[in-house]
Amino acid sequence: MAEFVRNQWYVAAYGDEIGRELFARTILGEPIVFYRAEEDGAVVALADRCVHRRYPLSESRLDGDRIVCGYHGFTYDRRGTCVSVPGQKRIPRTARVPAYPVVEQDSFVWVWIGDADRAESTPIPRAPWLDDAGYTVVKGMEPLAARYDLLVDNLLDLSHETYLHGGYIGTPEVAETPITTEVDEAGRVVYVSRHMADAACPPFYAESTGIRGRITRWQDIEYRPPCLYLLHSRIAPVGVLPGDDGTDPDAFHVEVVYAITPETEHSTHDFWAVARDFALGDEDVTAFLAESNRTVVMQDVVALDLLEKVVEQEADGYQELSVNIDTGGLAARRMLRAMAAEGRGEAAGAAGRAWT
């Protein structure tokens, strides 16, 4: 199993999920309570456990911007400092809960679980289409009862679309077309591309774009470990290519975004979003893409939940077979190993022994 990479930003929620109600979510095994401050609207993230008797603060109540524990009334400010203890004036010096750095960006709420002094210097990957008036977005989050690296493998090998997602996004050409893979070790990005010059148009795109007949279909993946996966999808009639100047007015563009956030060692928050640059105000297209993409996501969820059970039961040392289509996923594994090793203070080269 891949280890958690702790010193990185992770998506905890969509911004519109968090308001004045206490909101609980577990990230990398850490129970966290979120709320939006009355004072300035900022998102607050605190450890979801009262320092006194471990009662979940998410099951408590807000008093202004302070959480009052629902068990014994210990009260915490937005920095996690206990400011009131029932029955006494003196507040113990250790009466505080961890507060986590939070940033809102591109419609996501990002949280930092690792060493606090490294948060500010670590860039947050971008998905600007999710907060851009030039795109219409559908989105969701599905709980995955499987380890997060199984989802990484799934998304970096899209040949499974042909078999798992036939009738929605899969056509024979996806599995038949070779991939190209590039790995930016310094920038920590894995790129996987599959360009289909003459492919069937799957219902997902036929119904949303109106194209009938064969299409040119490009899939350009950009994975920024550990959390953010981007699929830049281009759809156009056969033979229609971008102009020499880089403009591409006759194609349809879809930006598919996954935020892959581990919940525990065996469960994952599967955030997904689809941003399109066409039919922006068409509510029928929006409803169709929302329903269709959630169906596709749920097909993955069912498959990966099943695969988790299989992996859990297999003998130690089981050797899986990898082929050309796994090149991107294997590169992602190596990168995740190296990042986890750095978090432990080890040399990156030592990480090669850690993956099982």
**Nearest 5°: CA angle at 151, between 120 and 288?**
100
Residue given tokens 């007949």 in the structure block: 213
The reported pLDDT for the residue numbered 24 is 98
Pair of tokens at residue 272: 């997904």
- Mean pLDDT per 10-residue section of the chain, whose length is 356 residues: 88 98 98 97 98 97 98 97 95 96 98 95 97 97 98 97 96 97 96 98 97 96 98 97 94 98 98 98 98 98 98 88 95 95 64 29
Q: What is the Cα–Cα distance from 59 to 264, expressed in whole angstroms?
A: 21
Model's pTM, two decimal places? Answer: 0.94
What pLDDT score does 342 carry?
87
DSSP-derived secondary structure letter, 161: H
Q: Is 203 helix (H, G, I), strand (E, B) or coil?
A: helix
pLDDT of residue 201: 97
Determine the distance from the C-alpha atom of residue 304 to the mean position of all C-alpha atoms in its chain, rounded to a whole number: 15
The beta-strand segments (E) located in the chain are 9-14, 23-27, 30-36, 43-47, 61-63, 66-68, 75-76, 82-84, 102-105, 108-112, 136-144, 180-184, 189-199, 215-224, 228-237, 252-264, 267-276
HSE value, Cβ hemisphere, 13 Å, CA-based, for 88: 7
Check residue 343 and give its pLDDT.
78
Give 154's contacts (C-beta < 8 A, 6+ positions apart). 160, 300, 303, 304
